Amino acid sequence: MTLPRTLRQEVPLIIVGRHGWGSEDLVARLNAYAEQKSSNVIWLQSVSDLQKRILLQQATTLVFPSLYEGFGLPVLEAFASGLPTITSNTTSLPEVAQDAAMLINPLDIDELSNAMLTMANGYKPAKDFCRSWIKPGSAIYVGELCKVNSRFIQETCISFQRQSNMSLACMATQL
């Protein structure tokens, strides 16, 4: 199953992270997607901690189908940002995520696609991890973040527009 064309056009897939050992085929496919004018795939190989926080706060969903995760820090970072999360039902991730994330088999493309579609349609997890774990006021430096946030989002969107001749909805986001 693939995601509906309208969803793929409206919501960019932003992939963050460097390529790892044995990922040459995946890197080639990502580069091929990025070169297509109609693609809505953005690959950010390196971001700062602040940029990562901003991306997590602006994202629709964290999709983290990891095969080899030690602790689950990306899932906790998503929870700290109040971000709905899809993650693997393997390794330590079910224990970390509990019932606050949608758990999927990371090797099942149909299951992953269905989970992404479900999240795009407004799925809410059984447990709001952020409300039960994060104390009010303990999150991020909101005042400074909003100043940098707007600039970073606009720079990312402008860069994407130049690469793809497409406009992103995040350009209109007011912080």
**Residue 45: closest CA among 11, 24, 19, 73:** 19
61-95 pLDDT per residue, tens? 999 999 887 888 899 888 888 888 999 999 999 98
Choice between 49 and 165, residue whose per-residue pLDDT is larger: 49
Three-state DSSP state, 131: helix
pLDDT surpasses 90 at 1: no
138-164 pLDDT per residue, tens? 443 334 434 444 555 556 555 555 554
Among 47-56, 107-116, 162-171, which is the least confidently predicted range?
Answer: 162-171
For every residue of 76-119, DSSP letters joined together read HHHHHTT--EEEESSTTHHHHHTTSSEEE-TT-HHHHHHHHHHH
Count CB-CB contacts under 10 A for residue 149.
21
Are 82 and 108 spatial neighbours (Cβ–Cβ below 8 Å)? no
Residue 119, domain CATH: 3.40.50.2000
Q: What is the rounded CA–CA span in Å between residue 166 and residue 25?
A: 26
pLDDT surpasses 90 at 10: no
What is the pLDDT at residue 134?
Answer: 44
What is the pLDDT at residue 79?
Answer: 87
Domain span at residue 50 reads: 5-172
What is the pLDDT at residue 172?
Answer: 32
Average pLDDT over residues 105-110: 94
Count of domains forming the chain? 1
What is the pLDDT at residue 32?
Answer: 87
Choice between 52 and 160, residue whose per-residue pLDDT is larger: 52
Q: What is the rounded CA–CA span in Å between residue 149 and residue 42?
A: 18
Task: Give CA angle at 152 (147, 157), nearest 5°.
Answer: 135
